[in-house]
Structures are given as structure tokens and as C-alpha cells.
Amino acid sequence: GQQLNQSPQSMFIQEGEDVSMNCTSSSIFNTWLWYKQDPGEGPVLLIALYKAGELTSNGRLTAQFGITRKDSFLNISASIPSDVGIYFCAALTGNQFYFGTGTSLTVIP
Amino acid sequence: GAVVSQHPSRVICKSGTSVKIECRSLDFQATTMFWYRQFPKQSLMLMATSNEGSKATYEQGVEKDKFLINHASLTLSTLTVTSAHPEDSSFYICSARDLGLAVDGIFGPGTRLTVL
């Protein structure tokens, strides 16, 4: 079952604003991943983090692997309409792979 | 980059029939494949983990006799929903990893199953 708490559950923002979402867990993980899922499609990997404290960017997206290995955040800067979708965090250790509950992002033009 | 495909993308079947869903890693060898189901507006729920050549490990509450998983090769895993019922209607998604190449968490596009 899931062990990741993701917040916020949903966000409604104006185009151009920055977005921040995070995931926390009571367990330690070796890898944190962030995905975006559009309706009717599989999740697409945005950023993968493999080391505690690691900060990684992918265009306007920035994600960090928490130093305690129990959390991670994702920031989206200068949001645009195509950022709309559901964002999931995921964490894995060994062969255990868990998903967050998702953050639904709506960008208002 | 690493790509995972699923077939079919959508299937409609009658109650009581069995449906097979294929998951393939196209340009890497998947040492492990994961199967998820997702209900509308919910997160992905892990059903089972399969390693090539061995039996799948099912999550608690997932009936292994109903959801048969076969990972016969390093590039193919199949999920068979046996004696499907309307409550099995869902979005089924697989993902694959290749530890040797540090390829992780690549998902297929999903299969929409509707049981009438």
C-alpha cells in the first residue's frame, strides 16, 4: 500500500505563478521520482533523485531529495497552461515502489 | 530513452471472460516489472511486482488467482484478468526497471479495461 503523503491535493493558480508541492513519508527511501500524468495516459517521469540532499532541475521544474530521505518537493516556476495535470511523487527502496496521492494542478490563463 | 509499451490500449469485454494485457520494454531489459491499477481521480495502486523468471509478488488484498502475472522474458510481462467482472473495470498501468542501467520507473501508456 501507499506510504507517501502528498500535498496539496489540488491547486488552482494563475498562469505565470510558481507552484510548489511536496511528499513526505514515515519511511526512508533511496530514490524519489516525480511524474506528471495526463488523463487517460500513463505517468511520465519528470525528475529522478538518487541522493539525499540532491537538487535537480529539468527546465522550469526543480525537485529536491530531502536530507532525511523521508521527503521530497517539486517546484514549477512560471507556470503555463500545458502544466495542467496530476503530479505524483513516487519513492522506492529495494523493490518497493510507492506513489503519492497526487496533486491536481489547474493553470488559469 | 527507455520506452515501455502496453497492448491493448483499451479493451471492452463481457463479464466472465478473461483479458490479457501485455507490457513490453522496447529498448532495455526489464529485470523487474510492476503492475498498477488506477481508478478515476485516484493515485496508482501497486498490484504486484514481478521479476523475470520467477513468481510475482502480490500486494495485500490482490487475488493472485484472479490477476495472473507472467514475466517470461526480460522484455515482456503479461497481466491476465480472469473471469472479469464490472468491478475490475479500471486503468491498468505497468512500469519497468533495469537496475543494471539504472533505468527506473518508466511507465507504459496504460490499458483501459471496461467490463460490461
Angle at B66 (CA atoms; ends B65, B71), nearest 5 degrees: 75
Q: Please give the residue that has the higher pLDDT: either B52 or A97.
A: B52
**Min Cα–Cα distance to chain B from A95, Å:** 8
Q: Residue B113 half-sphere exposure, CB side, CA atoms within 13 Å?
A: 30
Verify whether the Cβ–Cβ distance B60 to A1 is below 8 Å: yes
**Min Cα–Cα distance to chain B from A15, Å:** 23
pLDDT in tens, B15-53: 999 999 999 999 888 888 999 999 988 888 889 988 888
Looking at residues B66-78, what average pLDDT do you find?
92
b or e along A50-84 (b: 16 or more beta carbons within 10 Å of the residue's beta carbon)? eebebebeeeebbbbbbeebbbbbbebeebeeebe
pLDDT above 70 covers a percentage of chain B that reads 95
Verify whether the Cβ–Cβ distance A42 to B6 is below 8 Å: yes
- C-alpha dihedral sign at A46, B102, A53, A28: positive
Grid cell, residue A96, equals 518497493
Verify whether the Cβ–Cβ distance A97 to B59 is below 8 Å: no
Q: Judge residue B23's burial from the number of C-beta atoms within 10 Å of its C-beta, 0-12 exposed, 13-18 middle, 19 or more buried.
A: buried
Q: Please give the residue that has the higher pLDDT: either B103 or B115.
A: B115
**Looking at beta carbons, which residues of chain B come within 8 Å of A90?**
105
Cβ of residue A42 closer than 8 Å to a chain B Cβ: yes
Residue A85 near residue A40 (C-beta atoms within 8 A):
no
First-to-final CA distance of chain B = 37
| B107 → closest Cβ in A1, A42, A101 | A42
Report which of B57, B67, B65 is spatially closest to residue B113, judged by C-alpha positions: B67
